[in-house]
Amino acid sequence: MNIVHLAIDEKFIDRAINVFETANPNQNKFLIISDAVSLKYIKSKTNVEVIKKKQIIEKKFITKLCKYDLIVFHSLPRNFGKLITLIPTNVKILWIGWGYDYYEHFAGGIKKYLAPKTYRYFFKHKIKTILFKPLRLVKNLVEGFNLKRIFSRIDYFAPVLNNEYELCRNNLSLKKAKYIDWQYPLFTNNKTDLGYIDDEASDILLGNSASYTCNHIEIIDLLFERKLSTNNKIIIPLSYGDNIYQKFIIDYAKKRFGNNVIPLVDFIPLTQYNKTISNCRYVIMNHLRQQAMGNIYERLLCGASVFLNTDNPAYDFCCKLGLKIFSIKDLEESNCLKKFNLDQQNMINNKEIILNNFCYNMSIKKTKRLISIIDDKKGIF
């Protein structure tokens, strides 16, 4: 099957290139939509071509896409919307969702995913900038009218979590889109060099970005008020997201925990990032929606204790997989982090579950199954 992939310059894409090329060799073309002089994250050169953003709605480009058996959209940034509506209905479309690209279109908007204190900050500092940009409001309104056309055109949909499929069907016009079980592998190959966490490790990893949906404020207050963090280093990844919010969170956390707060404000390679957070025994993700799954899986691999909000679909998903995790409510009812340290058996069980479900070989198997389903073949892999 000849497949063309449309993607933005992001960290996950190299993994997708490796997996699809292994499962479907020499029949993939990756078109990276970017106006940058050079790509920042994607390093692979295998069947990769950079396309300018303005080119994607040109007739010549659409004609080129129609020569393929399947068009795969790796996330749906807003500038992909018009392109989707221009693709003839006889060409199959698969949308591999990332989370941001579907949650932002749910009724209720971002407010649904912000905890009370975070929402108050957002309303005070962020919403004003939106309200005083009428052109943006008009643009969002027009995009809203087009969403139904865009989502109704999707033939196949692969959300991050299987329990998000019905959630998206109910909130978006995805009535005809068939479910595809596919996720990006945790690693670019079969090598998993992440060992178990050191016995003395006690650092805290808080959130995954400078995004309001991390709900940092509530957790910083919780750790401070319940004295859950005294000598623990608190590592806060803030390398992408909102710059104003980034500065606020750094100041807010440092006022309570001083030099124990280590903000990560610059993008660093994955190997360096993993080394930086290698002593994080406690991983606190207070999202009310699915987010940061890569961080969650990788820390579970290392034997860390992960805390998720029970309103997050990822909490139920992880529990049903059999993973040993904790809730934010567990933290609220405790005055000691050490009681959440995993024993050796839970560490081993978590690692086995993660590797069995999200390893490189499993991704290849799912990719072959994906091709078989869409190509209407009965092959078993």
- Count of domains observed in the chain: 2
**Could you tell me if 177 and 212 lie in one domain?**
no
Angstrom distance (rounded) from CA 281 to CA 283: 7
Contact between residue 293 and residue 312 where contact means Cβ atoms under 8 Å apart: no
pLDDT tens digit sequence for 80-136 = 999 999 999 999 999 999 999 999 999 888 889 999 999 999 988 866 555 545 444
Asked if residue 42 is part of any domain, the answer here is: yes
The domain containing residue 136 runs over which residues? 3-182+360-374
What is the per-residue pLDDT for 381? Answer: 37
Helical axes 116-125 vs 243-257, angle rounded to 10° = 130
Does 380 score more than 90 pLDDT?
no
Radius of gyration of the chain (CA): 21
**Could you tell me if 222 and 369 lie in one domain?**
no
Asked if residue 379 is part of any domain, the answer here is: no
**Could you tell me if 178 and 250 lie in one domain?**
no
pLDDT tens digit sequence for 237-278 = 999 999 999 999 999 999 999 999 999 999 888 889 989 999
**Could you tell me if 177 and 232 lie in one domain?**
no
Residue by residue, DSSP assigns 222-264 as: HHHHTT--SS--EEEE-SSB-HHHHHHHHHHHHHHHGGGEEEE
Q: HSE-up of 88 (CA within 13 Å, CB side)?
A: 12
Contact between residue 160 and residue 183 where contact means Cβ atoms under 8 Å apart: yes
Look at the block and give the residue holding tokens 């000598």: 231
**Could you tell me if 341 and 286 lie in one domain?**
yes
One-letter amino acid for residue 122 of the chain: F
**Could you tell me if 177 and 314 lie in one domain?**
no
**Could you tell me if 257 and 347 lie in one domain?**
yes
Chain centre distance of CA 89:
29
Angstrom distance (rounded) from CA 238 to CA 215: 13
Does 192 score more than 70 pLDDT?
no
**Could you tell me if 342 and 366 lie in one domain?**
no
| CATH number (domain holding residue 74) | 3.40.50
pLDDT tens digit sequence for 270-292 = 889 989 999 999 999 999 999 99
Contact between residue 235 and residue 206 where contact means Cβ atoms under 8 Å apart: yes
Mean pLDDT of 59-63: 96
What is the per-residue pLDDT for 146? Answer: 82
pLDDT tens digit sequence for 2-28 = 999 999 999 899 999 999 999 999 999
The mean pLDDT value of the chain amounts to 91
Asked if residue 194 is part of any domain, the answer here is: no
